[in-house]
Structure 1
Amino acid sequence: MTDRKPFLSVIIPHLNQPEGLDACLTSLDAQNFERARFEVIVVDNGSACLPQGVIASHSACLLEEPKAGPGLARNRGVEAATGEILCFIDADCRAHPNWLRVASEIISMPERVVLGGDVQIWRDDQSRFTSLEAYESLFAYMQKRYIEKNGFSGTGNLVVRRIDIMRVGPFKGIEVAEDMDWGSRAIAAGLRFRYEPDLIIYHPARRTMAELFAKWDRHLQHYLNKAKEKPLWRIFWAARAVGVFLSPVAELGKILTSPKISGLSTRFQAASVLVAIRSYRAWKMLQLLGPHKTIIWNSSAVVDRNAGNRPA
């Protein structure tokens, strides 16, 4: 393990989340890593009001990307970054105090290794779970599975060398699931993803079911775009919808035994939200077999508080 401390660039796409951004930047101010060894770049992606007041309270640079999409905002940050290691986090997340220290250790690994870290649910009240906190603690941001089984990391907690991101190319726009797309191109370019459990960020649970539904509207549109590339896609898509509807049965063991939540009432709440979300997904998938509208990432009607990460 080398003792050399590399220079890091933290890149944060932002859209209409000034309070979350303030919490994110505060967590970066509290890092157990020499402040002179990293820069923070916030890229606004069309907010109603630029977060200039938030930026003024922290040591960060504010840029703008007018074209819609968190991937495009990240690209703008990459263009401006001066670090040899690029660290991506979303605006409404908080970084563990050791996040950048762990990220810096990528310099001791072989080239073409990309780190994806753990994403945990942030709770202001540690004494109880809301129903959405219980559900998302179990079924959201399963980074280990994404990396080890699906071959990509959510871009809300991603660390990559500059030289490696140049090998792969920029993130794409809202027409695709940009984390999955970039991950597949990274694998094709000879990179490999490594899950790092000590690379931790915290994400608040969604506040309403409407936010979860809006997230799934956007993700299902991405999956549909991909499915249409294959023959007989309608048959497979309909079969997958049925599987999604029936899938809560297979999750019962996880709900009853996972140490991430506790208490019978909390587990019942998690199960109730799971059934509601999977039922909505199945209904929406069947609905999308007919005429549909494209989901826009930075439309106020469907904005997702964490556009970079994959759901369960």
Structure 2
Amino acid sequence: MSLLSVIIPHLNQAAELEACLSSLDAQHLDHALYEIIVIDNGSTVPPSAIVARHPGARLLYESRPGPGPARNAGIQDAKGEVLAFIDADCRAHADWLRSALQALPSPPNGTILGGDVRIWHDDGSRVTAIEAYEVVFAYRFKLYIEQHGFSGTGNLVVRRSDFAKIGPFADINVAEDVDWGQRACRAGFKFRYVPEMIVFHPPRRTLHELCVKWDRQIQHALNKAREKPGWQIRWIARALAVLASPTLDFMKVFSSNRIHGATARIKAILVLVAIRTHRARKMLSLMGESQTIVWNRDTSV
């Protein structure tokens, strides 16, 4: 069976990294079959003590900002024939790696795997409005893979030989998972959704955190849009479509089997309207600006 290298970029998320590494320690897979590589990207306090508590994990450093360069550094040091990517603030289901290795032999060569990302909810606590929204609308990897041709790097598995043919992740100025997925598709690779590959992501705690996440994604999209002539008209139309989109997505809230109860659904709708309004306003406000992307310098996002 192939040796698997788990690649984790990290920046100022010490508690989350501890939970992530603990979930990897608990995998239903022989530890001899996988290694764990954490790449710190300039944390205020390097996570050396955290990594040292987890046998089989090692720590690298990458000075160039962004999760893409950090992942690239991890890949260069990796020994595995298979690369598995997870984010430092995620927790892996105990069968995550075993499911990935079981799924790899069945697709033809040139297939890249992406899995299910679910919102982590502590048992017994009330569902917040942000949780209710994110359960329905965040991390829709099945949609990304089957309709948009890419998988988020928070739950991605690829053969090392295939990664080498596609090339490294881009820097912080673009959405590196989308960019890499597009390059993979142009090179003839296919993405496959594997629902058994489950990773959990904590919900954002406040509306501000959710807005900051979208602000970063909007800047990525704007950088890409400016590459084509006449982008302003398309960008304004896109912003107006975002503003009107909640009317089309109400039914997604009411029909989703990931959320339960009328109160939780109403909370999700309120956040949906607030976020789409913020996104549209932000898109229009940025048209005359050029901003630098900053990755997780605020430890809350």
Number of the residue aligned with 1:240: 238
Residue-by-residue CA offset, 1:255-284 (whole Å, 9 max, x unaligned): 112111111111010001111100000000
Q: Deviations over 1:90-119 (max 9, x none)?
A: 001000110010111214432211000000
Aligned residue number for residue 47 of structure 2: 51
1: CA distance, partners of 2:174 / 2:300: 15
Work out which of the residue numbers 152, 158, 162 in structure 2 matches 1:154. 152
Runs (4+) off by over 6 Å: none
Encode CA deviations 1:184-232: one digit per residue, 9 max, x unaligned.
Answer: 1111111110011110000000111111111111111110011112221
Could you tell me how far apart the structure 2 residues matched to 1:9 and 1:304 are? Answer: 27
CA RMSD of aligned residues (A): 1.2
Letter aligned with residue 64 of structure 2: K
> Which whole-Å deviations, capped at 9, do the CAs of 1:57-85 have from their partners, x for residues lacking one?
10210000011000110000100000000
Q: 1:117 aligns with which of 85, 109, 115?
A: 115
Q: Partner amino acid for 1:286?
A: L
CA distance in 2, matches of 1:258, 1:271: 12
Q: Does 1:9 align with 2:1?
A: no
Q: 2:293 aligns with which of 282, 292, 295?
A: 295
In structure 2, how many angstroms separate the alpha carbons of the residues matched to 1:259 and 1:111?
Answer: 34
**In 1, are the aligned partners of 2:52 and 2:58 still within 8 Å (CA)?**
no
Alignment partner, residue 280 of structure 1: 278
Is residue 56 of structure 2 the alignment partner of residue 80 of structure 1?
no
Q: Which amino acid aligns with 2:295?
A: W
Q: Distance in 2 between matches of 1:87 and 1:51?
A: 20
Q: Structure 2 CA distance, aligned partners of 1:277 and 1:237? A: 18
Amino acid at match of 1:65: E
Unaligned runs of 5+ in 2: none
Report what 2:214 is aligned to: 216
CA contact (8 A) 1:43 1:77 kept: yes
Q: Secondary structure at the match of 1:145?
A: helix
Asked if the contact 1:68–1:298 (Cα under 8 Å) also holds between the matched residues in 2, the reply is no
Equivalence for 2:65: 68
* CA distance, structure 2, for counterparts of residue 111 and residue 153 of structure 1: 17
Q: 2:30: which partner in 1? A: 34
> Does the 8 A contact of 1:206 with 1:212 survive in 2?
yes
The Cα shift of 1:56 comes to: 1.5
Q: TM-score, normalised by structure 1?
A: 0.93
Q: Distance in 2 between matches of 1:266 and 1:110?
A: 42
Query: Is this contact kept in 1: 2:166–2:184, CA < 8 A?
Result: yes
Alignment match of 1:20 (pick from 16, 23, 28): 16
Contact 2:242-2:276 within 8 A present in 1 as well: yes
Q: Counterpart of 1:122 in structure 2: which amino acid?
A: W
Which residue number in structure 1 is paired with residue 162 of structure 2?
Answer: 164
How many angstroms apart in 2 are the aligned matches of 1:154 and 1:205? 16
Alpha carbons 1:46, 1:64 under 8 Å: kept: yes
Residue 227 of structure 1 corresponds to 225
Residue 143 (structure 1) aligns with: 141
> 2: CA distance between counterparts of 1:226 and 1:293?
13
Distance in 1 between the 2:59 and 2:264 partners? 40
2:94 to 87, 92, 97: 97
- 2:10 and 2:87 in contact (8 A); partners too: yes
Amino acid at match of 1:269: K
- Counterparts of 1:49 and 1:8, CA distance in 2: 28
Deviation at 1:127, TM superposition (A): 5.1
Which amino acid in structure 2 is aligned with residue 259 of structure 1?
A: N
Q: What is the one-letter code of the residue matched to 2:140?
A: M
Match of 1:199 in 2: 197
Amino acid paired to 1:135: Y
Mapped contact 2:12–2:297 kept (Cα < 8 A)? no
Aligned-pair CA distance for 1:304: 6.8
User: Does the CA-based 8 Å contact 2:12-2:296 persist in structure 1?
Assistant: no
**One-letter amino acid of the structure 2 residue matched with residue 265 of structure 1:** T
Letter in 1 for 2:38: V
Q: Where does the alignment leave 5 or more consecutive residues of structure 1 unmatched?
A: 306-312
Q: CA deviation at 1:254?
A: 1.1
The whole-number CA distance in structure 2 between the counterparts of 1:172 and 1:126 is 41
Residue-pair matches, total: 299
Alpha-carbon offset, residue 299 of structure 1: 3.1
Q: Offset at 1:292?
A: 4.2
Other-structure match for 2:130: 132
Report the 3-state secondary structure (helix = DSSP H, G, I; strand = E; otherwise coil) of the residue aligned with 2:245.
Answer: helix
User: Which letter does structure 2 place at the counterpart of 1:16?
Assistant: N
State the partner residue of 2:252.
Answer: 254
